[in-house]
């Protein structure tokens, strides 16, 4: 069978062998936890509790009236210590609710719901109420993504199991260990889009995940009497970065290009992350809001690399120490994947809904090198999945030539980092492009 893929892209070392065979380990927080009021794109939540209040597991403790937002819930039981500005994984200080964990994990009543007897609006409301956001990294509220203006036209629900970033294995493990939940989560979405195909796309470097998902889908199709069961399938993707980038994934599976400045729904597609789908499963079949996620801890400086299921709000430091990460010896500590993640200057941060991984990298894993002049070798042009000219954009960005930057389609850059990765002169191409994109976006908002 031919594999689904897109044009160009790169082949970095997978570096997944650290953790791909490590079973998901469930760990409980030791100390206080911090629930950030902003764990998504959109308006931050307002606290619904005050210091001194007692909270329970699953209790909604922050919400917002704004449309683009998602509530947050306590992942432990205990007393609210304080509400203060704390360091957020994005690097700035934001409001968080610090809860003294009593270690009892007393829960509010959480009642499973049958999504198949609910209508679309009820399902969307439940997804919002469960605080579910895109857990691949962006954190866009899922109830909005699943409610595009052209809902009737959507013909593809794509579940992103590509996990194309090196090191990351949390989606891989979830597909292996929580296979049925992925299928059930997808069935809830398909229930809202009965005409759409539900395609789970997985890179072919995870043959065990492909096999497991295919079996689970076949089993579901046999046993379920739902009409939409027959719409499900698994697609084998070529292993290539950035296969899991939304636009590239849509192209790989449907051969449709999301037009510049448009959204996946404009080509009748919706893409959801694996962990997000599992969160949807939990929201309905177990009645539980989003309170935990799977985090890959990896890199040469982690003694026990692995995939850890942890409660939201536990600190990075606690998780790193649990896995035997050598913080002091690491050259770089990254939240997210090595291609698009963020380097951290502190590990005293809480895990949020979008924290997919923590990497402690040594110098020899990075090949950084000193920046040299561009020799116009064109390797960036050969790899850019958006078919841009990164070397020219880099030059325009550094010369502050914003008009030319836009004329050369710089705003279409998805910041996947392929150009910087291949650059033999080790130029910080993405850094220059990203800065200029941010500047132009800020100017447009004025």
Partner 1 sequence: MSDLNIVSSSPHIRSKDTTSNLMRDVVIALIPATLVGFYVFGLAAVFTVLLSTLSAVFFEWIYQKTLTGKTSIHDHSAAVTGLLLGLNLPAALPMLPDAAKEITMVNFLLPFAVPILGSAFAIIVVKQLFGGIGNNFMNPALAARAFLIVSFADHMTTWKNIEPVFSSSVDVVSGATIMGMIKNGGLVIGPSVLDAFVGTIGGSIGEISALAIIIGGIYLIVRKVITYHIPVYFIGTVAIFMVLASLFSSNGFDPSFIGYQLFGGGLMLGAVFMATDYVTSPMTTTGKIIFAVGCGIITSLIRLVGAYPEGVSFAIIIMNLAVPLINRYTIPRCFGEEK
Q: Which residues are near partner 1 by CB under 8 A?
A: 10, 12-13, 166, 247, 251, 257-260, 262, 327-328, 330-334, 338-347, 359, 361, 365-369, 372-379, 381-382, 385-389, 391-392, 408-409, 412, 415, 417, 420-426, 428, 430-431, 434
* CB contact at 8 A, 336 and 357: yes
* CB contact at 8 A, 250 and 158: yes
Q: Which is nearer to partner 1, 64 or 383 (CB)?
A: 383
Q: How far is the CB of 348 from partner 1 (least distance, A)?
A: 9
Q: How far is the CB of 398 from partner 1 (least distance, A)?
A: 13
Beta strands, E only, 58-165 = 60-63, 72-73, 78-87, 93-101, 156-161
What does the block give as tokens for 5? 């893929």
Angle formed by the axes of helices 179-192 and 207-223, to 10°? 60
What does the block give as tokens for 151? 């809902």
Cα-flanking dihedrals φ and ψ of residue 20, to 5°?
A: -70, -20
Q: How far is the CB of 374 from partner 1 (least distance, A)?
A: 5
Q: How far is the CB of 202 from partner 1 (least distance, A)?
A: 23
Beta pairing partners, 60: 73
389 burial type by CB count under 10 A (0-12 exposed, 13-18 middle, 19+ buried)? middle
| Nearest to 162, CA basis, from 3, 31, 285 | 3
Which residue intervals of 207-315 are DSSP H helices? 207-223, 246-254, 274-281
Which residue intervals of 193-315 are DSSP H helices? 207-223, 246-254, 274-281
Q: Which is nearer to partner 1, 221 or 362 (CB)?
A: 362
Q: Which is nearer to partner 1, 40 or 332 (CB)?
A: 332
Q: How far is the CB of 257 from partner 1 (least distance, A)?
A: 5
| Nearest to 96, CA basis, from 34, 40, 51 | 34
* CB contact at 8 A, 119 and 67: no
Residue given tokens 């360091």 in the structure block:
87
Q: Which is nearer to partner 1, 118 or 327 (CB)?
A: 327
* CB contact at 8 A, 248 and 242: yes
Q: Which is nearer to partner 1, 187 or 418 (CB)?
A: 418
Q: How far is the CB of 177 from partner 1 (least distance, A)?
A: 27
Q: Which is nearer to partner 1, 150 or 346 (CB)?
A: 346
Q: Which is nearer to partner 1, 212 or 297 (CB)?
A: 297
Bridge pairing between strands 292-298 and 357-361: parallel
Q: Which is nearer to partner 1, 188 or 386 (CB)?
A: 386
| Nearest to 438, CA basis, from 420, 407, 415 | 415
Bridge pairing between strands 72-73 and 60-63: antiparallel
Q: Which is nearer to partner 1, 281 or 379 (CB)?
A: 379
What does the block give as tokens for 308? 């850890």
* CB contact at 8 A, 188 and 159: no
Rg for the chain (alpha carbons), in Å?
21
Q: How far is the CB of 263 from partner 1 (least distance, A)?
A: 11
Q: Which is nearer to partner 1, 209 or 430 (CB)?
A: 430
Q: How far is the CB of 372 from partner 1 (least distance, A)?
A: 6
Q: How far is the CB of 395 from partner 1 (least distance, A)?
A: 10
Q: How far is the CB of 252 from partner 1 (least distance, A)?
A: 12
Q: How far is the CB of 333 from partner 1 (least distance, A)?
A: 6
Give the single-character DSSP code of 3.
Answer: P
Count CB neighbours of 150 within 10 A: 10
Q: Which is nearer to partner 1, 81 or 317 (CB)?
A: 317
């Amino acid at each position: 069978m031919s594999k689904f893929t897109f044009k160009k892209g790169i082949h970095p070392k997978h570096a997944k062998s650290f953790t791909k065979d490590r079973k998901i380990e469930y760990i409980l927080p030791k100390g206080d936890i911090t629930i950030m009021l902003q764990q998504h794109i959109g308006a931050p939540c307002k606290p619904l509790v005050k210091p001194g209040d007692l909270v329970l597991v699953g209790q909604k403790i922050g919400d917002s009236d704004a449309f683009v937002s998602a509530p947050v819930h306590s992942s432990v039981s205990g007393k609210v210590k304080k509400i203060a500005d704390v360091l957020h994984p994005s690097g700035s200080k934001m409001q968080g609710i610090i809860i003294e964990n009593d270690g009892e994990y007393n829960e509010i009543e959480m009642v499973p719901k049958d999504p198949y007897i609910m209508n679309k609006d009820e399902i969307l409301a439940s997804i919002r109420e469960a605080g579910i956001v895109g857990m691949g990294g962006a954190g866009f509220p899922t109830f909005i993504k699943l409610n595009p203006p052209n809902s009737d036209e959507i013909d593809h629900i794509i579940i992103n199991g590509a996990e194309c970033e090196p090191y990351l294995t949390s989606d891989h493990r979830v597909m292996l260990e929580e296979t049925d939940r992925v299928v059930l989560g997808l069935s809830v979405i398909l229930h809202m889009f009965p005409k759409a195909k539900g395609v789970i796309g997985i890179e072919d470097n995870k043959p065990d995940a492909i096999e497991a998902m295919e079996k689970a889908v076949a089993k579901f199709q046999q046993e379920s009497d739902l009409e939409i069961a027959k719409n499900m399938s698994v697609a084998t993707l070529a292993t290539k970065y950035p296969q899991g980038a939304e636009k590239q994934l849509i192209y790989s599976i449907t051969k449709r290009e999301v037009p510049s400045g448009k959204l996946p729904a404009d080509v009748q597609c919706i893409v959801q992350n694996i962990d997000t789908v599992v969160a949807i499963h939990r929201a309905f079949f177990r009645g539980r809001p989003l309170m935990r996620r799977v985090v890959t801890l990896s890199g040469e400086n982690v003694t026990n690399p692995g995939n850890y299921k942890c409660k939201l709000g536990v600190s990075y430091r606690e998780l790193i120490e649990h896995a035997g990460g050598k913080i002091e010896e690491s050259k770089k500590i990254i939240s997210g994947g090595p291609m698009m993640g963020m380097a951290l200057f502190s590990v005293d941060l809480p895990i949020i809904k979008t924290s997919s991984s923590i990497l402690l990298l040594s110098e020899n894993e990075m090949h950084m090198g000193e920046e040299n002049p561009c020799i116009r070798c064109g390797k960036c042009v050969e790899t850019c999945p958006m078919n841009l000219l990164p070397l020219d954009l880099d030059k325009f960005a550094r010369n502050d030539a914003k008009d030319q930057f836009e004329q050369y389609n710089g705003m279409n850059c998805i910041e996947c980092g392929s150009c910087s990765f291949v650059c033999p002169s080790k130029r910080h191409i993405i850094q220059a492009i990203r800065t200029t994109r941010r500047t132009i976006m800020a100017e447009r908002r004025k």
